[in-house]
Structure 1
Amino acid sequence: MAMVLAVAACSDPTQDDTSGSGDDGASSGSEDTVLNAYLYQPPAAVFSPMAPASGPDQVVMNLIFDSLLGVDPDYDLYPRLAADLPEISEDGLTITYKIKEGLTWSDGEPFTSQDVLFTYNLMTNPDTGSPGASKFADVQGAAEVAAGTAETVSGFSAPDDTTFVMTLTKPNIGIVALTGNTMIVPEHILADIPAADMDTTEFFTQSPNVGLGPYIFQEYKTDQHVHLVKNPSFREGEVEIDEIYLRPVTSDVATAQLGTGEMDLVQISPADLETVEAMDGIEVGSGPGAGYIRTSVNEKKPYLQDVRLRQAMLYAVDRQQLIDEALGGHAQPVNTSFMNDALPDDLETYDYDPDRARELLAEMNWDPNQVIELSWIPGQRDRDTAATILESQLNEVGIKLQLKQVQPGELTDLMNNQSYDMTLYGGGNYATDPWAVYPINSCATWFPNGGNLSYWCNEEFDQLMLEANATVDEAARYDLYQQAARIENAEVPMIYLYNPDTIWAYTDDIKGFVPNGDFTNPFWNVQEWSLEG
């Protein structure tokens, strides 16, 4: 799960530039190839799979770490560190991974299934603060670890150096998609660090420079760049591009720098598409998104608990206008978190109807003087436009929305204190497996125990999701998911906005780039890239 929230304060772990490269990305080695890429927000600088999901940090982690499985641009699972997709027993209770042989960490130490065992136990340990622990709830022994009566999960095992096994208490079809992309961390580096200190250890906050990914972390200079150099021990062999600089700038600046040659790869706003297509030497590609942009609605606040308020918000917002203005039509309205075969065709579409919004507000005796605050991290044109349109159109029907731009650290505080009213964010992958919707909606996954930032709870929804995930028959499973989608659609736990196409613009000197709709993982096949010219 990759919800796009920056959830920790930025820091400057490296004051001195020891990379051998200048701030402009020009390498000291004249023959080195250097790629400058857009990073849509400054990272929170906690590069840890145990940290709450943060989109820009995820971009970095996808380059320096690796996982058993990955997701390709078609949102299909494929093996990365695993030799193949896992074997699932007939009763659905045992999931067995075989790991590629002969792999090493970037420091030369051998990688084995013990590293996987170590990482997965960290993910479930409550002392690490990992919100991903709920994904493993159906593994034998996970409940005991959560309760503090056991130190490790009995259902995780590594019978030999190339085998990792998860044993479940009940069938869980979606657990492979939900957990197979967990970034693996090095046991030989972290074994002596107490679990409670994992969120502050220097390895994750300053120098995560031992990994299995195609690149090795060098430094993060706050609000300037993340610098990475190629990993000569990467599993696929030689990585061709020597260095990457990820540069956190606004989308407008990134697009301008693409035109001047200062940037090589940029996720562009659809509003800039015509301008970019006119640039010499620039290619454009896109991929369909697997997540969506939305606002959470904090139902712990009494004035936000009535479903009619949330329904009124949806009716009050002209989402097609938002899509046309902010994204040039390159997006689709969303009315539920479910996608593909789990998406019913009889959902309420909440078409723009401000009169219906006013009727609902009148029914609930809404107080027009009640202020609702919407917090978001600025810098992406479509989200900035979305916030402005929400403010205008909700105020028009009598909902007094106030906008609050925040930095990552401020949003962290709001989340930890549960003091926000609404937050604007995006991301997620709900196209690979519908079970991914459970962590953002269930009663058991309220933040910080999971990704449910609205604190919505519907026991019937949870039961349908659990039943679906334990059902082996595919047709029956998807019927249950569609029933759950109807409940979510009716109760509106969040204000659905749009599913954007992800549009990439890049210099034609980059060879091998394959556009990915997941904007947190443009580098999914970076080992196949080269940079010419």
Structure 2
Amino acid sequence: MKHTRGRRTRTVFAVATVAAVLATSACSIDVDSQSDNSGTEGSMLVAADNGSPTFEKNFNPFSTSKRVTATYMYEPLQVVNTLDGKSTPFLATGAEQVDAETLIYTIREGVTWSDGTEFTPADVLFTFNLMKEVPALDNKGVWQHIESLEVEGNTVVFHLLAEDVPATSIIDQQLIVPEHIWADVEDPLTFTNEDPIATGPYVLGDFTPNQYTLTKNADYWQADKVAVEELILPAANSQLDVVNNGYDWAYAFITDVEGTWVNANSDFNKYWFPPGGTIALVPNLTKAPYNDVNFREGLSLALDREKIADDAEQGYVDAAGQSGLLLPNQEAWLSDDLPDGGEIAQDTDAALAAFEAAGYTMDGDQLVDASGTQVAINIMTANGYTDWLQGLQTVQSQLGAVGIDVTLSQPQPAAYQESLGAGDFDMAITGFGGTGSVFQDMNLLLNSEFATPLGTTTTGNFGRFSDPATDALLAELKASTDEDEQKDIAAELQQTVYDELPVISMFYGGLWGLYSDENYTGWPSEDNPYAPPNTYNSTPLLILTNLEKAN
């Protein structure tokens, strides 16, 4: 396939975001420039955990409905920076890949649980075995990679099911729980863990349905790196609240961020929106005409990705290339063989030629099949995801310009997710990537193991792409321990994404990080991207152990 180069007209302050949290409301707000941070000295006001509308007291680190800050208390073996895939040791001092099937973690000494009990390798062994015993706890699918594990002195040895180099980053991220508490839990799946005992920098303070606090763990193993004495977490965190109430840290999409958030306290308020995932159209490859690569190429060439990105995210993000990589995060892996680095510019003539190769021609202002029937497609998004909807309205217009009748469906988010997983759609907008691992990103996008029959749920490869040669490449990448070889294999996978168009990438989704330097400094930024700016998952541990008090 031949594509022409797209010209980027400008660079936004930061590129943007993670699939699941990219759908945001865009409302205009009035700004009162007087900050009103009601926290006490040493505290931090954080928009991280939203009530529905109030908080339920659930700090079970295995629960999908846990309070967001459970990950500020429970620590993993290593924290993975999803921007670059690099691991920082936490409860382990490091991991050694003995071979492609064996991992050895050295467990950190001198760590205690927040009730004073010593943390040991036995806690790590217990945590992983608990997930084996109760598979519903295994949210990251670690037991899809592990055959067995055992404690040897101060290490934990993991034996993998196969040659599986990427398994390290998955095992790295598992939160560890105390055996002396959880061994007596009757049902760890429904246990709400209202009095969490953990190893991390914070313990639970006051808790009400409308607000709770976390206080510094004085006995934390790296307490000297923790500058914030108390985190204050309200249940209500509207755009108005974030702008007017003097928040120190928020994860929020805000309309006109310069005129609202920054202007509210221009000496200190800043933002950083790095890319956290790729937002794409997913064609259902089990259906005609989407199973014809020529038709998919026509769709791709008909799109002006820069306009879609600007209309969807108000100029905060960049148009995406068709490499399957998250750029610029994974720039080092980008294949030199892709034309124009994988960027695809709108080319209406080339789009119509591709449609003609698929059997569709223009009749007046309509693209029709051999019987003269206009091509009609439906694109699914989730109700309330206003930025995605705005992007799709632009897609609707651009495909309409080449004669396609496009309708948009907006089921509620739960129904959207169910239909996406079951393959009950023609085309859908979704996000992919952002794990920090090229293998994991490509595997979830392309592996035919995820191409389950229609009507059965899958967690990846929603379009049901299936190609034995691609599966073989993924298996090679999974087993390879040589980075040059890994990059060669990844280049072949990028060519597949570019040529076969299993998804049609549109723009990079943003991680909407807002922060203030007034009380604390040392935030991650474009100049110092040691962590993404999000307030969820384990990467906040990198931030909370890096901040310093201002002045």
Q: How far did 1:69 drift?
A: 1.1
1:132 aligns with 2:140: yes
Equivalent in the alignment of 1:11:
none
Equivalent in the alignment of 1:15:
none
Q: 1:243 aligns with which of 217, 228, 231?
A: 231
Q: Distance in 2 between matches of 1:49 and 1:298?
A: 35
1:159 aligns with 2:143: no
1:35 aligns with 2:45: yes
Amino acid at match of 2:277: G
Higher RCO by CA contacts (8 Å cutoff, separation 6 or greater): 2
Q: 1:209 aligns with which of 178, 181, 196?
A: 196
Equivalent in the alignment of 1:234:
220
Equivalent in the alignment of 1:152:
none
Q: TM-score, normalised by structure 2?
A: 0.73
Q: Distance in 1 between matches of 2:503 and 2:236?
A: 28
1:79 aligns with 2:89: yes
With over 3 angstroms needed to count, the CA separation of the structure-2 counterparts of 1:319 and 1:412, relative to structure 1, is closer
Q: 1:443 aligns with which of 423, 442, 448?
A: 448
1:467-482 pair list within 5 angstroms:
467-482=476-491
Q: How far did 1:351 drift?
A: 1.8
Q: 1:63 aligns with which of 49, 61, 72?
A: 72
1:416-455 pair list within 5 angstroms:
417-426=422-431, 428-446=433-451, 450-455=459-464
Equivalent in the alignment of 2:5:
none
Q: How far did 1:486 drift?
A: 0.8
- % identity of equivalent residues: 22
Amino acid at match of 2:114: S
Q: How far did 1:118 drift?
A: 3.2
Q: How far did 1:242 drift?
A: 0.8
Equivalent in the alignment of 1:349:
343
With over 3 angstroms needed to count, the CA separation of the structure-2 counterparts of 1:169 and 1:264, relative to structure 1, is closer
Write the deviation string for residues 38-72 of structure 1: whole angstroms up to 9, x where unpaired. 569979988777677x9xx7954432321111134
1:389 aligns with 2:413: no
Q: Distance in 2 between matches of 1:354 and 1:126?
A: 54
Q: How far did 1:126 drift?
A: 7.8
With over 3 angstroms needed to count, the CA separation of the structure-2 counterparts of 1:286 and 1:92, relative to structure 1, is same
Amino acid at match of 1:525: I
Shifted more, 121-130 versus 38-47: the winner is 38-47
For residue 87 of structure 1, give the secondary structure of its aligned residue in structure 2: strand
Q: Distance in 1 between matches of 2:230 and 2:451?
A: 42
Shifted more, 432-441 versus 41-50: the winner is 41-50
CA contact (8 A) 1:378 1:405 kept: no
Equivalent in the alignment of 2:10:
none
Q: How far did 1:340 drift?
A: 2.7
Q: Distance in 2 between matches of 1:136 and 1:412?
A: 24
1:291 aligns with 2:280: no
Shifted more, 420-429 versus 93-102: the winner is 420-429
Amino acid at match of 1:465: L
Q: 2:245 aligns with which of 241, 261, 265?
A: 261
Corresponding pairs, count: 480
CA-atom RMSD in angstroms: 4.0
CA contact (8 A) 1:124 1:136 kept: yes
Q: Distance in 2 between matches of 1:51 and 1:490?
A: 40
Equivalent in the alignment of 1:19:
none
Write the deviation string for residues 447-470 of structure 1: whole angstroms up to 9, x where unpaired. 856433333222211211211232
With over 3 angstroms needed to count, the CA separation of the structure-2 counterparts of 1:118 and 1:455, relative to structure 1, is farther
Q: Distance in 2 between matches of 1:446 and 1:125?
A: 27
1:313-352 pair list within 5 angstroms:
313-325=299-311, 326-328=313-315, 330-338=317-325, 339-347=330-338, 348-352=342-346
CA contact (8 A) 1:283 1:505 kept: yes
Q: Distance in 1 between matches of 2:303 and 2:206?
A: 42
Q: 1:184 aligns with which of 176, 182, 185?
A: 176
Q: How far did 1:278 drift?
A: 3.5
The higher radius of gyration belongs to 2
With over 3 angstroms needed to count, the CA separation of the structure-2 counterparts of 1:128 and 1:496, relative to structure 1, is same
Amino acid at match of 2:87: L
Q: Distance in 2 between matches of 1:308 and 1:402?
A: 23
Q: How far did 1:262 drift?
A: 4.4
With over 3 angstroms needed to count, the CA separation of the structure-2 counterparts of 1:476 and 1:412, relative to structure 1, is closer
For residue 514 of structure 2, give the secondary structure of its aligned residue in structure 1: strand
CA contact (8 A) 2:380 2:416 kept: no
1:9-158 pair list within 5 angstroms:
33-38=43-48, 60-72=69-81, 75-84=85-94, 86-89=95-98, 91-123=99-131, 127-128=135-136, 130=138, 132-133=140-141, 136-139=143-146, 141=147, 155-158=148-151
With over 3 angstroms needed to count, the CA separation of the structure-2 counterparts of 1:186 and 1:477, relative to structure 1, is same
1:529 aligns with 2:535: no
Contiguous gaps of at least 5 residues in structure 1:
7-23, 142-154
Write the deviation string for residues 408-429 of structure 1: whole angstroms up to 9, x where unpaired. x444543565535555444643
Q: Distance in 1 between matches of 2:480 and 2:486?
A: 5
Contiguous gaps of at least 5 residues in structure 2:
1-16, 22-35, 361-368, 526-530
Amino acid at match of 1:526: L
Amino acid at match of 1:328: G
Write the deviation string for residues 306-356 of structure 1: whole angstroms up to 9, x where unpaired. 434443333233111133342426424231323333321333533223444
With over 3 angstroms needed to count, the CA separation of the structure-2 counterparts of 1:460 and 1:526, relative to structure 1, is same
Q: How far did 1:212 drift?
A: 3.2
Equivalent in the alignment of 2:472:
463
For residue 256 of structure 2, give the secondary structure of its aligned residue in structure 1: helix
Q: How far did 1:301 drift?
A: 5.4
1:378 aligns with 2:378: no
Q: Distance in 2 between matches of 1:454 and 1:226?
A: 42
CA contact (8 A) 1:317 1:352 kept: yes
CA contact (8 A) 1:335 1:350 kept: yes
Amino acid at match of 1:337: G
For residue 275 of structure 2, give the secondary structure of its aligned residue in structure 1: coil
More helix by share: 1
Q: Distance in 2 between matches of 1:511 and 1:314?
A: 43
Q: How far did 1:371 drift?
A: 4.5
Amino acid at match of 1:334: G
With over 3 angstroms needed to count, the CA separation of the structure-2 counterparts of 1:532 and 1:138, relative to structure 1, is closer
Write the deviation string for residues 78-118 of structure 1: whole angstroms up to 9, x where unpaired. 2111113x1122x4332110111132333444332233223
CA contact (8 A) 2:125 2:150 kept: yes
1:401 aligns with 2:407: yes
Q: How far did 1:260 drift?
A: 1.6
